[in-house]
Amino acid sequence: MSYTLLFASAFLAATILPLYSEVVMFAMIRAGEPAGLLLAVAAVGNTLGSVVNWVLGRYLLHFQHKKWFYFKPEQIEKMQGWFQRYGVWSLLLAWMPVIGDPLTLVAGIMRVNLWLFLLLVGIGKTIRYVIVIYFSEMSVAWF
């Protein structure tokens, strides 16, 4: 397996597409690839994929008056209120299923500084992949 595949799966998994980079990472761990390199590739890919959501959020509201616009104003207000309540520190949870992708989208809507976004999202996603690698290596040792 190639590191390009891991990067691509991590990148796309961070967008609204329902992909899981952990499967690719697990296969590469089983193949004996070095954990540090896997961690770097997956964390960078997944963090950069979240930037896609941030950019979409940043420019999304320009289209809110269009008939085809997906979100209702009440939904946007609810998301913004939640984000204002928990603040930018909630971006450390951007790795979580279900809430992670909308969280990064709302960060764009709320115009969170890109560098702060990259730092917080990158930390959260790196910790997630450290945990994935740890448990993957444990399961490899069992077999």
Give pLDDT tens digits for 70-95: 777 887 788 788 788 888 999 999 98
Across the chain, where does the E strand assignment appear? none
Domain count, the chain: 1
The model carries a pTM of 0.86
Place of tokens 């790795």: 95
Specify the 3-state DSSP secondary structure of 118.
helix
pLDDT reported for residue 142:
64
Cα–Cα distance measured from residue 108 to residue 114, given in angstroms and rounded to the nearest whole number: 8
User: Which phi-psi region, left, alpha or beta, contains residue 17 (left: φ > 0; alpha: ψ -120 to 50)?
Assistant: beta
> Which structure tokens are listed for 25?
């990472």
